[in-house]
Amino acid sequence: MSGNGNAAATAEENSPKMRVIRVGTRKSQLARIQTDSVVATLKALYPGLQFEIIAMSTTGDKILDTALSKIGEKSLFTKELEHALEKNEVDLVVHSLKDLPTVLPPGFTIGAICKRENPHDAVVFHPKFAGKTLETLPEKSVVGTSSLRRAAQLQRKFPHLEFRSIRGNLNTRLRKLDEQQEFSAIILATAGLQRMGWHNRVGQILHPEECMYAVGQGALGVEVRAKDQDILDLVGVLHDPETLLRCIAERAFLRHLEGGCSVPVAVHTAMKDGQLYLTGGVWSLDGSDSIQETMQATIHVPAQHEDGPEDDPQLVGITARNIPRGPQLAAQNLGISLANLLLSKGAKNILDVARQLNDAH
């Protein structure tokens, strides 16, 4: 027996080593599930490669007693992962796209945007309110959300409810909802609940007229070193053309408005019959003041193609060389045009006041 074992070991030593691709992720259960799904796809595409997942905690995971909008740090859930990327400790990082700022630090790019899951927000109710909707919750019921965007829109729509900050990963927030009596319901991203397999906890999915979603919500982004052509080629096949174009438009809108998580900005996009529709809005913190508009552009969802390198391939932090450039530019221009329309109608003032009030509290 031992002889056979030694022979196998020797054969293994002499065989060419498989290349190992190191993948960075946050430590939370949802982050791991999202990363595992991307790695599973890559493994199927590249059976000759080995993938190693390296999990780490980020600033946003560690600071749990402060609302995200108060911390004043644009790269809350990405900084530590980007350090690992910079130091060559990992080759790529899987993020929720909505956590990635519209301007990335120099040297990084989003090399893939995977097919988007349901981008809408969901309401999870305390068990005693099962079967209710936000509309039918009792007066002064407290609803938990860590997002200014959600609170501003929902306060406007449901003035009989109170909105309070709730932090922590999905497991922590659900536990706070179920075990404490403080919250009647909490608002979470539908995509996260679905990825965790918690479909049965979704009590209500919010439609765009009730609550538009965050830029990039429901999509995963793969961040890589901008000059690492090898890895860019490797992950580029993960781009979903429709998701990519919708998210370029959304990110261009947010970037041009200079919004972030310290102000209430939301979007809704749809592709239909060669048209990309983008709705965007800004709100005051209490939701009393708002501007919303919709614009559209003719954009045909392209098939992937092989394209030569371009001087500066990045658009709003995204590199997609295997998708034709024309539709990408059209999506970016749509986002910029909509932002300009809102700015011409007074959006800057609403956002400046929201920022000042948020900083003051």
CA distances from 106 to 86, 273, 297, 317 (A): 10, 37, 30, 10
| Closest-CA residue to 88 (of 25, 18, 26, 22) | 22
Do 257 and 347 touch, CB atoms closer than 8 A? Answer: yes
> Among residues 300, 303, 257, 253, which one has the least CA distance to residue 276?
300
Catalytic residue among 61, 65, 91, 99: 99
Please give the structure tokens belonging to residue 273.
Answer: 């019959």
Side-chain-facing half-sphere of 166: CA atoms under 13 Å: 26
Q: How far apart are CA 254 and CA 263, in angstroms?
A: 11
Distance CA 132, CA 138 (A): 10
Q: Give catalytic status of residue 233 as yes or no.
A: no
Residue given tokens 């371009």 in the structure block = 310
CB 238 within 8 A of CB 179: no
Q: Which conformational region is residue 291 in: left (phi greater than 0), alpha (psi within -120 to 50 degrees), or beta? A: beta
Determine the straight-line distance between the first and last CA of the chain, rounded to whole angstroms.
71
Helix H or strand E encompassing 247: helix 241-257
User: What is the C-alpha separation between 226 and 310, in angstroms, rounded?
Assistant: 13
Q: What is the length of the chain? A: 361
- Dmax (CA) of the chain: 80
* Residues labelled catalytic: 99
